C-alpha cells in the first residue's frame, strides 16, 4: 500500500495535521494495512477539531470502503462498510420505506464516524443516539477481525461506540433501520420571541424531529429568539433536486463579522412569517441544511472556526441562559446556533448525550472567541453538563475527566484493545485520554 503524505484538517480547520495516509479500496487491503501498519481510521473529516488528526503519524482513509453489503428486510438490518456516507444510506432507503433512525446534521459523515462519535440527530429525544441502533460492529485489531455486539461483547462495544476510534478500525457495521412512510418531510417553522418561550416550546413539542435555530446576536428582551422547526416524515414525490453550491475559496475576515451576522440573522428570522408556516420538503433539506453548500467551512477564512457544543441537565436551564447572554454580549457568534432538547439515550462510555438541553454555536477562530469558549466550558462544568468531543479543539484534560464519569471504563477497555497505542490521535494526546 502506498502512503500519501499530506496536510489535512477537521471541519473547523483551526487545527491541522501532516500525516501519511493510506486509502484502501478493498477489505483485503484494509486488513493488510491494519496488520502491518496499524493506524487510526479517518472518514470524511466532519468532526470539527482533532478527533481524526494524527500529526506526524499515519491514518487510514476509509472513504473508498463505501458499499452497502446487504439488507435483511425481515429484521430491518442493513450491513454497510464503514465509509458509507449516512446521507447516501438514508436517501437510498427512504424511498423504499426505511430510514436510519439517527441522522446527524451532515449527510457527509461516514458510518464509521457516526459510530466513533456516537452522533445524535434532531430526534434524539425520541430514538436516542446513533450507537443505540447499531447491532454489530466488525472491528479490525492489527489484522484480526472481531465482531462486536451489545449482548456478547458489551464492554468493548461500549468502548467502541463514541470511542474515538481507539479500540480498532471499524471495517463494517450492521444497523437497524426504522420504517418510514416516504422520503419527504412536513416541516413546521415558527418564530419564537424569547428564551422562556423557546424552552417551553421545546418541552411541549410532540414532533419526532425538533430543533431550534437561535439568533445568538439578540440581546435583552429578545434574548433567545429564534425559529422552532418541527418535522415529520411523510410520503410524496420529490421535486427535482436543487444543485449543490460551493464556496470556492476562503472568505475574507469581514464575511462573518458582527454587523454582517446581525443583518443575516434578522433576515433569517423574518424569513418565517410571523404566523409560522408549514412546508413539505425532500428529507435531505431539513436533515442536512448546510450540505447543499459544499465547503461552507471556508466562510470562516483560512484561520477556521470553533464550534462550542454543550449539554446541561434540564434543571440547569438558567445556566444555559447565562451562557447565551455571554455569547450575545460578546458579538462573536456566527449565524449558526442551535438549541435542542436531548433525551438520555447514549451508546458508549464516552458518548456525549445526557437528558437536558444542548446548545451549539460556531465562532470564528480568534483569541477573544477562544477565551469566551473557555468561559462557556467552565459554566458547562459547573452546571453538571458536558461538551461534545466531536466538536472540541480547545478543552483541557482535567475538564474532560470531570465531564465524562465513565472515562475510566473506556480507558480500561481501550488499553486492552490497543495496548501499544497505535490508534492514538492528536485529540487523545491533547486531552491525555489514554493515560490513567
Partner 1 sequence: MAESWIILGGTSSMARAFARAVAERGCAVFLAGRDMDDLKATAADCRQRGAPLAEALRFDARKPEGFAALIARLEREEGQINAAVFVGSMPDQAAIDADPALIDGVVADNFTGPARFLQMLATVLEARGGGTVVGVGSVAGDRGRLGNYVYGAAKAGFHTYLSGLRNRLGRAGAHVLTVKPGFVDTAMTWGLEGMFLVAPPEKVAADILRAVDRRRNVIYTPFFWRWIMLIIRTIPEPIFKKLSV
Instruction: Give residues in contact with partner 1 (CB under 8 A).
Output: 2-5, 23-29, 64, 67-71, 81, 92
Least gap, CB of 40 to partner 1 (angstroms): 18
Q: Between 29 and 258, whose beta carbon lies closer to partner 1?
A: 29
Q: Between 17 and 192, whose beta carbon lies closer to partner 1?
A: 17
Torsion on CA atoms 139, 140, 141, 145, rounded to nearest 10? 90
CB 350 within 8 A of CB 310: no
What's the DSSP call for residue 52?
T
Length of the chain: 436
Bridge partners (DSSP) listed for residue 173: 80, 137
CB 373 within 8 A of CB 308: yes
Q: Between 170 and 327, whose beta carbon lies closer to partner 1?
A: 170
Least gap, CB of 33 to partner 1 (angstroms): 12
Rounded CA separation 166/426 (Å):
12
Neighbouring residues of 290: CB distance < 8 A, sequence distance ≥ 6: 105, 106, 296, 336
Least gap, CB of 82 to partner 1 (angstroms): 12
Bridge partners (DSSP) listed for residue 46: none
Q: In what order do the strands lie in the sheet with 356-364?
A: 277-282, 184-192, 226-234, 209-214, 337-342, 356-364, 305-312, 386-387
Which three three-digit cell numbers place residue 393?
479543539
Q: Is 426 exposed, middle or buried (0-12, 13-18, 19+ CB in 10 A)?
A: buried
Least gap, CB of 290 to partner 1 (angstroms): 22
Least gap, CB of 17 to partner 1 (angstroms): 17
Would the CA dihedral through 111, 116, 120, 124 be positive or negative? positive
User: DSSP of 72-123, one letter per residue?
Assistant: ETTTTEEEEETT-BHHHHHHHHHTTTEE-S---S-TTSBHHHHHHTT---TT
For residue 366, which of 295, 292, 432, 306 has the smallest C-alpha distance?
306
Least gap, CB of 93 to partner 1 (angstroms): 9
Least gap, CB of 24 to partner 1 (angstroms): 8
Least gap, CB of 30 to partner 1 (angstroms): 11
Q: Between 68 and 258, whose beta carbon lies closer to partner 1?
A: 68
Least gap, CB of 340 to partner 1 (angstroms): 32
Q: Between 44 and 117, whose beta carbon lies closer to partner 1?
A: 44
Which three three-digit cell numbers place residue 111?
458510518
Q: Between 65 and 233, whose beta carbon lies closer to partner 1?
A: 65
Q: Between 18 and 270, whose beta carbon lies closer to partner 1?
A: 18
Q: Between 3 and 264, whose beta carbon lies closer to partner 1?
A: 3
CB 82 within 8 A of CB 62: yes
For residue 423, which of 50, 33, 40, 37 has the smallest C-alpha distance?
40
Q: Between 80 and 393, whose beta carbon lies closer to partner 1?
A: 80
What's the DSSP call for residue 335?
S
Amino acid at each position: 500500500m502506498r502512503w500519501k503524505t499530506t496536510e489535512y484538517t477537521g471541519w473547523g480547520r483551526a487545527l491541522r495535521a501532516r500525516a501519511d495516509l493510506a486509502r484502501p479500496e478493498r477489505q483485503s487491503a484494509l486488513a493488510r494495512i491494519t496488520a502491518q501498519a496499524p493506524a487510526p481510521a479517518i472518514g470524511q473529516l466532519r468532526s470539527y477539531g482533532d478527533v481524526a488528526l494524527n500529526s506526524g503519524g499515519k491514518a487510514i482513509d476509509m472513504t473508498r470502503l463505501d458499499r452497502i453489503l446487504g439488507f435483511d428486510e425481515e429484521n430491518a438490518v442493513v450491513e454497510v462498510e464503514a465509509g458509507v456516507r449516512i446521507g447516501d444510506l438514508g436517501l437510498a432507503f427512504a424511498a423504499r420505506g426505511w430510514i436510519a433512525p439517527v441522522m446527524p446534521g451532515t449527510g457527509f459523515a461516514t458510518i464509521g464516524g457516526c459510530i466513533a462519535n456516537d452522533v445524535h440527530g434532531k430526534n434524539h429525544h425520541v430514538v436516542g443516539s446513533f450507537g443505540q441502533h447499531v447491532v454489530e460492529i466488525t472491528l479490525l485489531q492489527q489484522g484480526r477481525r472481531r465482531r462486536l455486539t451489545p449482548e456478547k461483547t458489551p464492554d468493548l462495544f461500549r468502548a467502541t461506540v463514541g470511542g474515538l476510534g481507539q479500540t480498532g478500525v471499524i471495517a463494517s457495521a450492521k444497523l437497524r433501520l426504522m420504517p418510514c412512510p416516504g422520503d419527504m418531510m412536513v416541516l413546521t417553522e415558527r418564530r419564537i420571541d424569547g428564551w422562556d418561550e423557546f424552552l417551553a416550546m421545546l418541552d411541549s413539542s410532540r414532533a419526532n424531529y425538533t430543533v431550534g435555530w437561535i439568533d445568538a446576536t439578540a440581546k435583552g428582551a429578545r434574548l433567545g429568539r429564534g425559529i422552532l422547526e418541527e418535522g415529520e416524515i411523510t410520503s410524496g414525490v420529490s421535486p427535482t433536486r436543487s444543485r449543490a453550491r460551493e464556496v470556492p475559496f476562503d472568505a475574507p475576515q469581514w464575511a462573518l463579522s458582527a454587523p454582517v451576522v446581525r443583518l443575516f440573522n434578522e433576515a433569517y428570522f423574518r424569513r418565517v412569517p410571523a404566523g409560522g408556516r408549514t412546508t413539505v420538503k425532500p428529507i435531505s433539506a431539513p436533515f442536512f441544511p448546510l450540505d447543499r453548500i459544499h465547503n461552507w467551512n471556508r466562510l470562516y477564512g483560512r484561520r477556521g472556526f470553533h464550534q462550542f457544543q454543550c449539554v446541561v441537565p434540564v434543571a440547569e436551564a438558567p445556566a444555559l441562559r447565562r451562557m447565551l447572554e455571554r455569547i450575545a454580549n460578546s458579538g462573536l457568534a456566527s449565524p449558526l446556533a442551535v438549541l435542542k432538547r436531548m433525551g438520555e439515550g447514549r451508546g458508549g462510555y464516552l458518548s456525549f448525550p445526557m437528558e437536558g438541553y444542548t446548545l451549539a454555536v460556531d465562532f470564528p477562530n480568534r483569541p477573544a472567541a477562544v477565551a469566551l469558549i473557555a468561559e462557556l466550558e467552565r459554566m458547562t462544568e459547573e452546571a453538571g453538563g458536558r461538551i461534545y468531543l466531536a466538536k472540541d479543539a480547545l478543552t483541557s484534560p482535567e475538564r474532560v475527566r470531570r465531564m465524562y464519569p465513565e472515562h475510566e471504563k473506556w480507558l480500561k477497555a481501550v488499553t486492552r484493545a490497543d495496548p501499544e497505542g497505535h490508534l492514538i490521535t492528536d485529540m487523545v494526546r491533547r486531552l491525555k485520554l489514554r493515560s490513567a
